[in-house]
Amino acid sequence: MSDTNFLPKPRSRGTWLSIGVLLAVTALAVGVNLLADRFLSRARIDLTQQRLYTLSDGTKQVVSSLRDPVTLRLFYSRRLGAAVPVFGAYADRVREMLREYVALSDGKVRLEVLDPEPFSETEDRALAYGLQGVPLDNAGDQVYFGLVGVNLLDDERTIPFFQPDRERFLEYDLTRLVHELSNPTRPVLGVLSSLPLNGDPRAMMMRVPGAGQPFQAMTQLRQFFTVKDVATDAQAIPPDVQVLLVAHAQDLPDATLYAIDQFVMRGGKLLALTDPHSESQAARPDPTGRPPASTASSLDRLFNAWGIEAPSDKVVVDQRGAWRVRAGPNDRVQGVDYLAWFSAQGDSLNRGDVASAELSQVTFASAGLLRKREGATIELTPLVTSSPQSALIDAARVRETPEPARILAEFKPEDQRHTLLARVRGVLNTAFPEGPPSLPEGVERAAELPAHKASTEGPANLVIGNDSDILEDRFWVRVQDFFGQQVATPTSDNGALVTNLADTLAGGDALISLRSRGESLRPFTLVEEMRSDAEARYRQTERGLTERLQATERRLRELRQGSGSGSQPQTVITPEQQAEIEAARAEIVRTRQELRGVQRELRQGIEGLETWLRIINVALVPALITAFAISLAVLRRRRRAAARG
């Protein structure tokens, strides 16, 4: 036999061709990955139901308009995520969201992720920035999960600790932080009111304790804004005012109404609070010591032109959250629910708006309703509404000498909610199409008035409420003197609401457009529905089996003890009793088996769903890719066959 039979045969041409194709495919895959990493690093596909990782247009506007760089430092202790997986999942979302900001900013946003180990310089930096440390175990070591933003002027903004229960507002919090760093100066808030919001010098001269002090709501606003008073006869709103608060401004002249109108037409943000009956004004006598002749205010000329109705002849009364007040001297009861004073709470607060989402309750007093005029094209979004246990009554019934007991006795709920406070958005037309109004005789027109505008250039953003008493201290805060220091203890969230509203308006359209987003840690709603259905279906059977088991066990105890004459127990068990004992034991075993079967059926559907989820997660995607590849190969073969033919 020749040795040549044992020599290796040369590789066929097809084998070398296959190896070459394999190498080419490998090189192509590596090249595609390198090119994708170079040119498609910003490409994203968000497959979450609520588009959790897709930035809103408002955020894109804020980030893309950055002029100077902003550095974001995320301090996150990895030990926190390892110990509490909920925080680990949330930290992943925060990181991904911040990377979206970086990718969108064209280099203007820089991100640093730091892990502050105990007793490290990084932990010292976190403490210096004022971030909140949380003890993770009994050893006392602190963990951190906060954000610090710094601009070129060394201005700092922080989120001390990311709370998972605020995940819905993650984008708003991050965008607000970036916006404040790009606009570090305090916004200017103009205040136009007939109420002594900034204090009453006359009352202070009388040296009455607590009298004449600024409203606590204004004290809070001064912490975030530069507050500027606007006269009730002003012919123009100062150009540096970004947000205008008009609160119970009575009998404004046409020139001042025109100034407010043109402020809105030029893109200014308005927070307007009218009132069918101001409890705040009613409690303050005029300079002569007499009660005020009128306690109502309206901006009907402006509102009617803008498509809004805020009637001043009706008051909303609400049984839910009504305040308990002292009854009249002729009433037998000591206290009675005054339905015109109530605290809106629960589903009366819009949880989708960042200004009202985290509030507990907001107190209203003799409030009116808001509604959109018929045919108006504006978007009116309620922020606070009454409960369905509410109704409308004539405003005259709460003026002068209200009768809480009679209002309660005659109350009939309308099973309808009434809007008390709302956001208004839309393109608005001026209430003065003819231009500036004529002035009274002897009044000179102010110089250099801005040019008249007939409408807003884009959608206007307003907040309208028909109750100015949300600012009144006695309805939401208790102020006490502590060794000469005024200490304010809120009893309701009125002050927080007003501050939040002004804050969102000052942030511009970009921040106003941001609403709450969904949560990444979503519950398995289908599993919960299956569990509820299964429990409802099997719980009755389980209870019947349990009762039968208890009865059988009780009968077995009686048989074992026997029943003798008198007080002596029976010591000898008859064959009939022994047979009954064995039957009872068999019944107990059978009942327990049925109970286990019921519990097994209770879990069977859920376990089946989990199995299908695993199959889908593990096998479906590869199966789809395989099917796609096979379809592509078949299609190519048909094309080649058609080309040859």
The string of pLDDT tens digits covering residues 373-388 is 999 999 999 999 999 9
- Residue 210 domain-assigned (yes or no): yes
Mean pLDDT for the stretch of residues 135-146:
83
Is the pLDDT at 299 greater than 70, yes or no? yes
pLDDT of residue 258: 97
Same domain, 581 and 597: yes
Q: 426 near 307, Cβ under 8 Å?
A: yes
Same domain, 543 and 395: no
The H-assigned helical ranges of 131-253 are 170-182, 201-205, 216-221
Which residue from 150, 146, 228 is spatially nearest to 191, judged by alpha carbons?
228
Tell me which long-range contacts 585-589 makes (C-beta under 8 A, separation of at least 24). Answer: 585/556, 587/548, 587/552, 588/549, 588/552, 588/553, 588/556
Residues 6+ apart with CB under 8 A from 393: 314, 315, 317, 340, 407
Q: Please check whether residues 363 and 246 belong to one and the same domain.
A: yes
**How many structural domains is the chain composed of?**
3
- Per-residue model confidence as pLDDT tens digits over 44-59: 555 455 555 577 777 8
Count of all residues that appear for the chain in the document: 645
pLDDT at 447: 84
More confident residue, 11 or 226: 226
Residue 608 token pair = 């089946």
Most confident range, picked from 463-477, 564-578, 589-603: 463-477
Identify whether 131 is part of a domain.
yes
Are residues 616 and 599 part of one domain?
Answer: yes
* Six token digits for residue 248: 């119970």
Q: Concatenated DSSP letters for 586-613?
A: HHHHHHHHHHHHHHHHHHHHHHHHHHHH
Q: Please, what sign has the CA dihedral across residues 99, 103, 105, 108?
A: positive
Provide mean pLDDT across the span 24-36: 69
C-alpha 74/C-alpha 429 separation (Å) is 46
Query: Measuring CA to CA, how many Å separate 547 from each of 28, 274, 542, 589, 628?
Result: 71, 64, 9, 14, 58
User: What share of the chain in percent tops pLDDT 70?
Assistant: 74
Whose CA is closest to 499, among 639, 296, 359, 334?
A: 359
| Sign of the C-alpha dihedral computed for residues 462, 464, 469 and 475 taken in this order | negative
Closest CA relative to residue 247, chosen from 314, 319, 195: 195
Closest listed residue to residue 179, CA positions, set 503, 490, 641, 418: 503
DSSP result, 468-523: GGGG-GGGTEEEEEETTEEEEEESSSHHHHHHHHHHHHHTHHHHHT------SS--
User: Do 345 and 464 sit in the same domain of this protein?
Assistant: yes
Q: Helix, strand, or coil here: 632?
A: helix
Cα 308 to Cα 6, 223, 303, 341, 639: the distances in Å are 99, 32, 5, 24, 65
| 436-465 mean pLDDT | 91
Residue 333 lies in a domain: yes
282 and 343, same domain (yes or no): yes
Q: Tell me: do 492 and 530 sit in the same domain.
A: no
- CB-based contact 254:281 (threshold 8 Å): no
CA pair distance 512, 517, nearest whole angstrom: 14
Question: In sequence order, what are the residues at sequence separation of 6 or more whose Cβ sits closer than 8 angstroms to the Cβ of residue 599?
Answer: 542
Convert the pLDDT of each residue in 594-626 to its tens digit: 766 766 666 666 666 666 766 766 666 677 777
C-alpha to C-alpha distance for 119 and 512, rounded to whole angstroms: 41
Whether residue 175 is found in the same domain as residue 131: yes
Residue finishing a domain among 181, 212, 228: 181
pLDDT score for 209:
45
Between residues 417 and 565, the one the model is more confident about: 417
CATH number of domain containing 168 = 3.40.30.10
Mean per-residue pLDDT, 26-41:
64
Distance CA 554, CA 492 (A): 57
pLDDT of residue 559: 67
Coil, strand or helix at 84: coil
What is the structure's pLDDT at 145?
95
Clarify whether residues 226 and 120 are in a common domain: no
Confidence at residue 502, expressed as pLDDT on a 0 to 100 scale? 93
Residue 421, pLDDT > 60, answer: yes
Any idea which of 158-172, 241-255, 588-602 has the lowest mean pLDDT? 588-602
The closest of 423, 459, 507 to 62, measured between CA atoms, is: 507
Helix (H, G, I), strand (E, B) or coil at 156: strand
Q: Are residues 296 and 245 in the same domain?
A: yes
pLDDT value, residue 227: 95
How far is the C-alpha of 475 from the C-alpha of 493, rounded, in Å?
10
Most confident of 404-413, 421-430, 581-590: 421-430
Instruction: Tell me if 317 is assigned to some domain.
Output: yes
Q: What is the torsional sign of CA 216, 221, 224, 226?
A: negative
Same domain, 145 and 226: no
Give the percent of the chain with pLDDT over 90.
43
Q: Is residue 44 part of a domain?
A: no
For position 150, what pLDDT does the model report? 93
Tokens of 191: 């205040």
Q: Is the pLDDT of residue 87 over 70?
A: yes
Tokens of 345: 């709470």
Question: Which tops the pLDDT comparison, 502 or 65?
Answer: 502
- Do residues 230 and 296 share a domain? yes
Structural domain includes residue 28: no
Model pLDDT for residues 182-208, shown as the tens digit of each residue: 887 889 999 999 999 988 766 555 544
* Per-residue confidence (pLDDT) for residue 319, from 0 to 100: 94
Domain boundary among 116, 146, 181: 181
Could you tell me if 157 and 177 are in contact, meaning their C-beta atoms sit under 8 angstroms apart?
yes
Tell me which of 15-24, 60-69, 599-608 is least confident: 599-608
> Rounded CA gap, 257 and 10, in Å?
98
Whether pTM exceeds 0.85: no
Tell me the sheet residues that pair with 157: 149
Name the pLDDT band for 542 (thresholds 50, 70, 90).
low
CA 363 to mean position of chain CA atoms? 19
CA separation for the pair 279, 281 (Å, rounded):
5
- Name the residue type at position 134: V
Exposure pattern of 509-521 as b/e (b: 16+ CB <10 Å)?
Answer: bbbbbbbbbebbe
**DSSP code, position 348:** G
| Cβ atoms of 175 and 185 closer than 8 Å | no
Q: Is 444 a domain residue?
A: no
Of the two residues 539 and 12, the one the predictor is more confident about is: 12
Average pLDDT across the chain, whole number: 82
307 pLDDT higher than 70: yes
Q: Distance between CA atoms of 547 and 149, rounded to whole angstroms?
A: 64
Q: How confident is the model at residue 27 (pLDDT cuts 50, 70, 90)?
A: confident
- Tell me, what's the pLDDT at 44? 57
pLDDT at residue 317 greater than cutoff 70: yes
**Cα 210 from Cα 505, distance rounded (Å):** 31
Look up the domain containing 598 and give its range. 525-559+577-644
Q: Which of 212-221, 228-237, 420-429, 564-573 has the lowest mean pLDDT?
A: 564-573
Any domain includes 492: yes
> Contact at 8 Å (CB) between 114 and 132?
no
Pair 495, 477: CB distance under 8 Å: yes
